[in-house]
């Protein structure tokens, strides 16, 4: 694997949860694998000048905080102290306001000093890991410094932006305009951590490196596609943020649409960032726009009520979403969303894609189910029975892998058929744990490879699909349907698929019935 050049990595929002849980441990893992240059620095930037206990946030204190984060959250434990020693001397901290020209000038001065002391060559990777309301201020101040004579570095400048990228088409276009005022598109890395997961990347290999799939990868042989991203936790602890977003904006417009695009896209001309992202944009532009009259039946939204949900320690009570702190009175923000979409092109004409996501569901799960059409009803069944259709189940989390469900005869004298699974798991097949998504994405951004990042027109095309649904919900007199915690959402979500003669696959571990057949 190519080694990145020397670089200064600047994390805005350095004291936040994402930085502590994911980003800093990811940098450590890259150092452990020697996938960052020895001549790198990590600069944390945040508003905090001191910790909650009053301890001043100095370089040394921030290094201690980084060590604690790595010791607690690094993928491989125990940590390698020799790796930490090499990393520790390259960590620094700067406090300042996100939209302050004066504070950004201090950051620029610090980076120039580090260019000399660590030979980073003027290369900059800015990671914006902050609430979305401060994105524009950070981008503007960075852009002003980079475009002015105050920063004469000759190295590259790249900027990584966390989701959400806007909250609708209009705000996404505005944010793109701000970015492009100062940065070229090849400098911008809009991150979606799902694209860094091994199984998601393996979708391209599975589809285009195995000739058995391409001839049948269309509506003639596939009955429908299900995409499920379910969470067992509630939104109670971050309801103030969540109430401004909701399940559809928070999960479907980005994570789930990325999965859908990789399943539905045409073969790219090459495995490069331009070709792959061109095909993903075509998918979004081919999605049939949902008419307002169809939202009550094709776009289901729900809110969890009072009850018990699962967390790491067991069952935990919730008063219900509308009673959580920070939720606006009478809020109609959905904590569950299930949508039926159609992609109007030759490959998928008339074949539905079902997407669902929610909080307080029975299982933490991210998976794609490609359900093939049932075989002709002529041989192995009575007239009242049906042989179970074949499923290709692509599990993104918690256990990354692929399961191929086939029908097989049950041993014995009777002709009985049961659905069996041919399973492939990364851990057992490759005898190694897949790297964290942020490790791969940080590494690619250091190399300048944008393949696993979202292009500006791609983000806008995804919002073009979601906006009509959100607008129809805003005008609708129908509120979100209540559902009990630790269930699979409101009844209407079941009706969404069952009225089409189909059903949700709740888990790739479901035990399918044995079908007894007459010969």
Residues labelled catalytic: 255
Q: What is the DSSP letter of 482?
A: E
Using H for helix, E for strand and C for coil, what is the string for 264-289?
HCCCCCCCCHHHHHHHHHHHHHHECC
Asked if 424 contacts 402 with a C-beta cutoff of 8 angstroms, the reply is: yes
122: exposed, middle or buried (Cβ count in 10 Å: 0-12, 13-18, 19+): middle
d(CA 519, CA 514): 16
Ordered DSSP codes for 230-274: E-SS-SGGGHHHHTTT-HIIIIIIIIIHHHHHHHHPPPPSSSSHH
Q: What is the DSSP letter of 356?
A: E
Element (H, E) at 102: helix 101-118
- Give the other-Cβ count within 10 Å of 197's Cβ: 23
Buried b (16+ CB within 10 A) or exposed e, 471-488: ebbeeeeeebbebbbbbb
d(CA 34, CA 363): 36
- Give the contacts of 406 (CB within 8 A, at least 6 positions apart): 390, 419, 420, 422
Q: What are the Cα distances from residue 205, in Å, to 199, 200, 271, 406, 408?
A: 10, 10, 10, 21, 27
d(CA 58, CA 95): 9
d(CA 312, CA 419): 32
d(CA 120, CA 112): 9
Element (H, E) at 226: strand 222-230
Query: What's the number of CA atoms in the CB half-sphere (13 Å) around residue 71?
Result: 8
- Give the other-Cβ count within 10 Å of 272's Cβ: 13
- Give the contacts of 516 (CB within 8 A, at least 6 positions apart): 382, 385, 414, 415, 416
């Amino acid at each position: 694997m190519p080694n990145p050049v020397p670089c200064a990595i600047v994390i805005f929002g350095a004291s936040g949860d994402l930085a502590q849980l994911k980003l800093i441990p990811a940098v450590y893992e890259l150092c452990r694998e020697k996938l960052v240059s020895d001549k790198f620095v990590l600069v944390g930037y945040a508003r905090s000048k001191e910790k909650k206990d009053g301890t001043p946030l100095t370089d040394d204190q921030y290094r201690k905080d980084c060590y604690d984060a790595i010791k607690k959250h690094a993928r491989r434990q125990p940590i390698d102290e020799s790796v930490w020693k090499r990393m520790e001397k390259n960590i620094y901290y700067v406090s300042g306001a996100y939209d302050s020209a004066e504070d950004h000038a201090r950051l620029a001065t610090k980076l120039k000093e580090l260019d000399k002391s660590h030979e980073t060559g003027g290369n900059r990777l800015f990671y914006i890991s902050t609430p979305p309301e401060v994105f524009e201020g950070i981008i503007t101040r960075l852009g002003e410094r980079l475009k002015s004579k105050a920063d004469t570095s000759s190295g590259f400048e790249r900027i990584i932006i966390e989701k959400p990228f806007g909250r609708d088409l209009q705000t996404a276009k505005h944010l793109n305009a701000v970015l492009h005022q100062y940065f070229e598109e090849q400098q911008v890395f809009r991150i979606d951590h799902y694209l860094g997961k091994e199984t998601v990347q393996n979708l391209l290999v599975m589809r285009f490196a195995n000739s058995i799939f391409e001839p049948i990868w269309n509506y003639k042989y596939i009955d429908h596609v299900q995409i499920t991203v379910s969470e067992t936790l509630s939104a109670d602890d971050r309801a103030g943020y969540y109430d401004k977003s909701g399940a559809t904006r928070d999960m479907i417009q980005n994570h789930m649409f990325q999965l859908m695009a990789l399943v539905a896209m045409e073969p790219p001309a090459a495995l490069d960032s331009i070709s792959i992202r061109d095909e993903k944009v075509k998918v979004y532009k081919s999605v049939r726009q949902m008419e307002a009259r169809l939202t009550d039946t094709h776009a289901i939204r729900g809110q969890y009520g009072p009850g018990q949900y699962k967390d790491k320690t067991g069952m935990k009570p919730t008063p219900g979403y509308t009673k959580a702190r920070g939720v606006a009175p009478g809020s109609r923000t959905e904590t569950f969303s299930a949508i039926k979409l159609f992609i109007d092109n030759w490959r998928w004409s008339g074949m539905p894609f079902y997407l669902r996501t929610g909080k307080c569901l029975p299982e933490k799960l991210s998976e794609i189910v490609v359900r093939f059409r049932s075989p002709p009803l002529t041989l192995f069944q009575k007239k009242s029975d049906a042989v179970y259709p074949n499923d290709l189940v692509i599990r993104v989390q918690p256990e990354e892998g692929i399961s191929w469900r086939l029908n097989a005869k049950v041993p014995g004298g009777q002709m009985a058929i049961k659905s069996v699974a041919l399973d492939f798991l990364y851990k057992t097949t490759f005898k190694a744990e897949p790297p964290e998504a942020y490790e791969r994405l940080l590494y690619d951004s250091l190399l300048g490879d944008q393949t696993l990042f979202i292009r500006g027109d791609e983000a806008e095309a995804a919002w073009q699909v979601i906006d009509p649904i959100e607008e129809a919900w805003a005008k609708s007199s129908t509120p979100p349907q209540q559902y009990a915690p630790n269930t699979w959402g409101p009844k209407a979500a079941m009706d969404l698929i069952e009225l089409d003669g189909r059903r949700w696959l709740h888990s790739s571990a479901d035990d399918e019935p044995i079908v007894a057949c007459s010969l």
